[in-house]
């Protein structure tokens, strides 16, 4: 009886393998696209996206996040860093707590972004007394970023979010 069970299990496995092999072809409308994005002069990052019957399959957050994280400069005088964390539409978020007055810290961060190859737009900036802050948006090749910082006295918090392309929702905290 033991050999009958063994033979039955072997036959079931063989039928399963045959059915799996005949069930569909390897060309089932799947296409792979490889895109090379210039990160900074001399460096490149490659991401892969697969479409199945016209529907995109997002690049894994780990792969996209690693490439995008390299586009986010760490501010001078950073005391604490949180992230990277995933945000909507394959983006990545970093948070920095910085020792420094908000106005000077954000001016310095704008320069650091430009040094990383970002084309920066100042969305708003200002302050009063000893507080203040700024919001910058920017592009770096196809990548899109939102960089918001502010604080009071000698402490500034900066949130930095970067996406592979401009997302439909640019809120850094979603």
**Where are the chain's structural domains?**
30-163
Predicted confidence band at 128 (pLDDT cuts at 50, 70, 90)? Answer: confident
What is the structure's pLDDT at 124? 94
Burial class (CB in 10 A: 0-12, 13-18, 19+), 133: buried
User: H or E segment at 6?
Assistant: helix 2-23
Here the tokens at position 27 are 């060309």
Percent of the chain with pLDDT over 90: 57
Residue 113 pLDDT exceeds 90: yes
d(CA 167, CA 5): 57
Average pLDDT, the chain: 73
Global model pTM greater than 0.85: no
> Band of the pLDDT at 22, cuts 50, 70, 90?
very low
In this predicted structure, which of 71-75, 130-134, 146-150, 163-167 has the lowest mean pLDDT?
Answer: 130-134
Query: Can you tell me whether residue 40 is helix, strand or coil?
Result: strand
Of residues 79 and 5, more confidence is placed in 79
Residue 125 has pLDDT above 60, yes or no: yes
Give me the pLDDT at residue 174, please.
62
pLDDT tens for each residue of 71-84? 999 999 999 999 99
Average pLDDT estimate for 32-44? 37
Regarding predicted confidence, which is higher, 27 or 162? 162
**The dihedral formed by the CA atoms of 93, 95, 101 and 104, expressed in degrees to the nearest 10:** -30
Judge whether residue 142 has pLDDT over 60: yes
């Amino acid at each position: 009886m033991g050999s009958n069970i063994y033979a039955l299990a072997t036959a079931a496995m063989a039928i399963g393998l045959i059915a799996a092999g005949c069930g569909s072809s390897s060309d089932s409308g799947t296409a792979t696209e490889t895109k090379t994005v210039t990160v900074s002069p001399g460096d490149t990052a490659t991401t892969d996206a697969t479409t199945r019957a016209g529907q995109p399959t997002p690049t894994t957050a780990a792969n996209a996040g690693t490439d995008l994280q390299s586009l986010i400069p760490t501010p001078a005088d950073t005391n604490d860093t949180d992230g990277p964390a995933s945000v909507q539409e394959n983006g990545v978020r970093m948070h920095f707590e910085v020792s420094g007055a908000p106005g000077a810290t954000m001016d310095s961060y704008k320069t650091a972004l430009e040094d990383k190859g970002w084309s920066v737009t100042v969305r708003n900036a200002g302050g009063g007394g000893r507080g203040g802050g700024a919001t910058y948006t920017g592009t770096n090749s196809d990548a899109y970023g939102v960089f918001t910082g502010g604080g009071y006295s000698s402490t500034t918090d900066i949130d930095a979010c970067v996406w592979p392309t401009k997302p439909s929702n640019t809120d850094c905290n979603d």
